[in-house]
Each structure stands twice: as structure tokens, then as C-alpha cells.
């Protein structure tokens, strides 16, 4: 199988598997226990905290371990909004945030908060002119890189505008970590989320970076874990894996990013040669070096995905498929992509295991796969079965 779905999840690094196996055997104690075994587990936890901090140029005491990007988004958005409720019960998030952030915003809406959605242009970026914050806005959420298109957002503008309005800034950097350099201090955001399984680490281990002094009310109460910011005994072995993956990703970034960018360029050029009428979404915007989101007109995404899967190539549909119907991605809809084109989108996301030969094999399979999908694609424009 040629795996081109690294934005969904990455293969766990072999050294991470070994480190986690050793941790499961060697760290049986609760890291909050004061005896020797507990302190050995605590030392492993703090070593991982420093490794994660180094990846994003933060301070170790700013790292809060959580279970995943979804929890990190919820803890940051809810925890910040609750802390600032006296100032204003209003938040703003971009229209192309990950669905986890939209879900957190829905929780706040149910609690009486107003939620404003910042629009994006055709390339998927929030323009400075679009960041108009209503009075009482307490938190602004803007991701660093979109998980579907790879488009990078102009965070520097958002941070400046939010600061002028007295609002806190939350950045979901789950897709960006390990693919582009991240400097938490330089970004100027108050909260930043990263996740292990996007950088060769395990699922179920992630981190929320909280700037010193930034307010944060916890989701889970009744314990003082993670400095009182996230209750619950830490997943020591998972966090050990997260830390080692963060260290490895940081060490490889300078060489891996240009390698992936070259593979992406070859993939896009070959795709155009095979399918001249394809559309690459966000092509003119700054993007992650590993991500291609493309629509193949008249080849519905579910059918094309299955044709590629039959050829041994794993990619992701750029649309939601259920009950025989295809719905366009909310991200592509927010970018103004017509429905008939949006339901024909696939995401190809490369990673550290992707080889040049795999790109060539994918390109060889793509033309026949598109032809097969188009041959069975009656009713594409309506999104029906």
C-alpha cells in the first residue's frame, strides 16, 4: 500500500514504538506519586515536556499534555472564553477551522456566547480586512495550516488585530508542527495545539502550549495534574512517544520540508499531465510542503478514492460521503468552490515514509482511476449516488 494520507495520521516511528514499549515496562507508577518509582515516571514526563517545548520554541512549563488535538482545541477555546467571560461573551473563529474547533465553538454557543466566523478568500486565507472583531470579543481562533488544503494563515495580522482589541489568540498548529518552523514566542499567540500522531508519534497524546500568564479554566476538575490546567493521570508512555517524535521531527525539519516540497511539485506536475482540467485548491497561497487538495471534474471523490484504493494507494476524500451521497467539504465551500467541483476533491498528503518511486506509481494509476470514476459518475453535479 502506498500511503498518502499523512495529514490524517502518520506511521509511528520505529524508535517511538520502542521507547513506548520500554516506558510501559519501566514506568508502572503514577507520575504524581512521591516515591522513587513515581518520580522516575515524573522524570520521563518532564523530559518529554522539554522535547515538545523545543519543537515549537516554547518553555517547558508552558506545555500542558492532553489526549489529542480535539481536547487541546476544546480546552484552549473554552478555557480561555470562560476565563474572559466577564470581559465579553463573544468569540471569533475562522470559517476553515478544524471541525474540533467548530465543535468547541458550538459548546460556547449553547452557553450563550456569540460566535463570529471570519470568512476566507478563494485561496482559503483569512485576509486582514476580514478580521473585524465586534466589541466584547474575548478570544480569536485561527489555525496555522489547514488540514485539508495545507494553506497557511496570516497569523501575524490576526495577532496584531486581536491584541489591539484586547482579545486572546488561539492557534491550532496540529497540521503545521513538524512541517514548517514554529516559534511560539515569535507568533505571539496565547495558546497553541500540537498532536503526536501527526508527527510520527502515537494517537492519544498531544499538547496545548499556554503562554505564561494566559488565563485557562480547566475542562476537568478535581485534581491538580498539569499545574491544575488538565486533570487526570497523564498517559506516560504515550507522552514519552510524543516527546521523542517531537524531537525527531525538529531534527529532520530542515531536510524533510524541502524534500516533501519537491515530491509535491512532481506530484502536481504529473497530475496536470494526466488530468489537464484538474483544479488545485489554494495553489496560489503559501501551503504546507506536503499537501495537495485537488478536484478532478466529473470524478466524484468517493469513486475516485475507491479506484485508487483498489490500485493500492491510500488518499483522503475532500468531501464527506455517507448513505450513497456526497457532501462538499465545509472548507472548500467556505473558499467558494462550486459544489460540483467540491464533491470531486481528493487530498494527497505526503510524509517522511513517502518515496519518489511511490509518487511515480501513483501518477501511473491516476489517469485510469479518474477515467473509471468518470465512467460511473452520473449525477455528480447533484452529489447523488
User: pLDDT digits over 146-165, tens only?
Assistant: 999 999 999 999 999 999 99
d(CA 92, CA 134): 9
Residue 220: exposure state from Cβ atoms within 10 A (0-12, 13-18, ≥19)? middle
Same domain, yes or no: 230 and 293: no
**Domain containing 341: what range?**
253-379
On whether residue 4 sits in a domain, the answer given is: no
List the CATH number of the domain containing 193: 3.40.640.10
pLDDT score, position 128? 86
Same domain, yes or no: 86 and 185: yes
- Residue 326's pLDDT band, with cuts at 50, 70 and 90, is confident
282-321 as b/e, with b when 16 or more CB fall inside 10 Å? beebebbbbbbbbbbebbbbbbbbbbbeebebebbbbbeb
Q: What is the mean pLDDT of the chain?
A: 94
d(CA 270, CA 105): 40
pTM reported for the whole predicted model: 0.94
Q: Which of 321, 325, 340, 363 is catalytic?
A: 321
Domain termination site, one of 221, 249, 277 = 249
Taking residues 168-189, what's their average pLDDT?
A: 97
Query: Among residues of the chain, what percentage have pLDDT more than 70?
Result: 96
pLDDT of 297 over the 70 cut: yes
Asked if 233 and 38 count as a contact pair (C-beta separation under 8 A), the reply is: no
Look-up: residue for cell 508542527? 177
User: pLDDT digits over 82-96, tens only?
Assistant: 999 999 999 999 999
- Residue 318's pLDDT band, with cuts at 50, 70 and 90, is low
User: pLDDT digits over 105-149, tens only?
Assistant: 999 999 999 999 999 999 999 998 889 999 999 999 999 999 999
pLDDT score, position 382? 40
Domain termination site, one of 205, 228, 249 = 249
User: pLDDT digits over 217-259, tens only?
Assistant: 999 988 889 999 999 999 999 999 999 999 999 999 999 999 9
Same domain, yes or no: 222 and 341: no
List the CATH number of the domain containing 262: 3.90.1150.10
For residue 133, give the 3-state DSSP assignment.
coil
321 catalytic residue (yes or no) = yes
pLDDT score, position 239? 98
d(CA 27, CA 87): 44
On whether residue 2 sits in a domain, the answer given is: no
Amino acid at each position: 500500500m502506498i500511503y498518502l494520507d499523512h495529514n490524517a495520521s502518520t506511521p509511528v516511528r520505529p524508535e517511538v514504538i520502542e521507547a513506548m514499549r520500554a516506558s510501559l515496562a519501566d514506568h508502572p507508577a503514577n507520575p504524581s506519586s512521591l516515591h522513587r518509582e513515581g518520580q522516575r515516571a515524573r522524570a520521563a514526563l518532564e523530559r518529554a515536556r522539554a522535547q515538545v517545548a523545543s519543537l515549537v520554541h516554547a518553555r517547558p512549563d508552558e506545555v500542558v499534555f492532553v489526549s489529542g488535538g480535539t481536547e487541546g482545541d476544546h480546552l484552549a477555546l473554552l478555557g480561555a472564553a470562560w476565563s474572559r467571560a466577564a470581559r465579553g461573551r463573544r468569540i471569533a473563529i475562522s470559517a476553515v477551522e478544524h471541525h474540533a474547533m467548530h465543535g468547541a465553538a458550538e459548546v460556547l454557543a449553547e452557553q450563550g456566547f456569540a460566535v463570529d466566523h471570519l470568512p476566507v478568500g478563494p485561496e482559503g486565507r483569512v485576509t486582514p480586512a476580514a478580521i473585524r472583531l465586534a466589541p466584547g470579543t474575548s478570544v480569536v481562533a485561527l489555525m496555522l495550516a489547514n488540514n485539508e488544503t495545507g494553506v497557511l494563515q496570516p497569523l501575524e495580522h490576526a495577532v496584531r488585530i486581536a491584541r489591539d482589541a484586547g482579545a486572546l489568540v488561539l492557534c491550532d498548529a496540529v497540521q503545521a508542527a513538524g512541517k514548517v518552523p514554529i516559534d511560539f514566542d515569535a507568533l505571539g499567540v496565547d495558546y497553541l495545539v500540537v498532536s503526536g500522531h501527526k508527527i510520527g508519534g502515537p494517537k492519544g497524546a498531544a499538547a496545548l502550549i499556554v503562554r505564561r500568564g494566559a488565563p485557562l479554566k480547566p475542562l476537568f476538575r478535581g485534581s491538580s495534574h498539569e499545574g491544575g490546567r488538565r486533570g487526570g493521570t497523564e498517559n506516560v508512555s504515550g507522552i514519552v512517544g510524543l516527546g521523542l517524535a517531537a524531537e525527531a521531527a525538529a531534527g529532520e525539519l530542515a531536510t524533510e520540508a524541502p524534500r516533501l516540497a519537491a515530491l509535491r511539485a512532481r506530484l502536481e506536475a504529473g497530475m496536470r499531465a494526466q488530468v489537464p482540467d484538474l483544479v488545485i485548491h489554494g495553489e496560489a497561497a503559501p501551503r504546507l510542503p506536503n499537501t495537495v487538495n485537488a478536484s478532478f471534474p466529473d470524478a466524484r471523490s468517493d469513486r475516485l478514492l475507491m479506484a485508487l484504493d483498489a490500485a493500492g494507494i491510500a488518499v483522503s476524500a475532500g468531501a464527506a460521503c455517507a448513505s450513497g451521497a456526497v457532501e462538499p467539504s465545509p472548507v472548500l465551500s467556505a473558499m467558494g468552490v462550486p459544489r460540483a467541483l467540491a464533491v470531486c476533491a481528493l487530498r494527497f498528503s505526503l510524509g517522511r515514509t513517502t518515496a519518489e518511486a511511490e509518487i511515480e506509481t501513483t501518477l501511473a494509476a491516476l489517469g485510469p482511476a479518474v477515467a473509471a470514476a468518470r465512467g460511473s459518475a452520473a449525477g455528480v453535479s447533484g452529489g447523488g449516488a
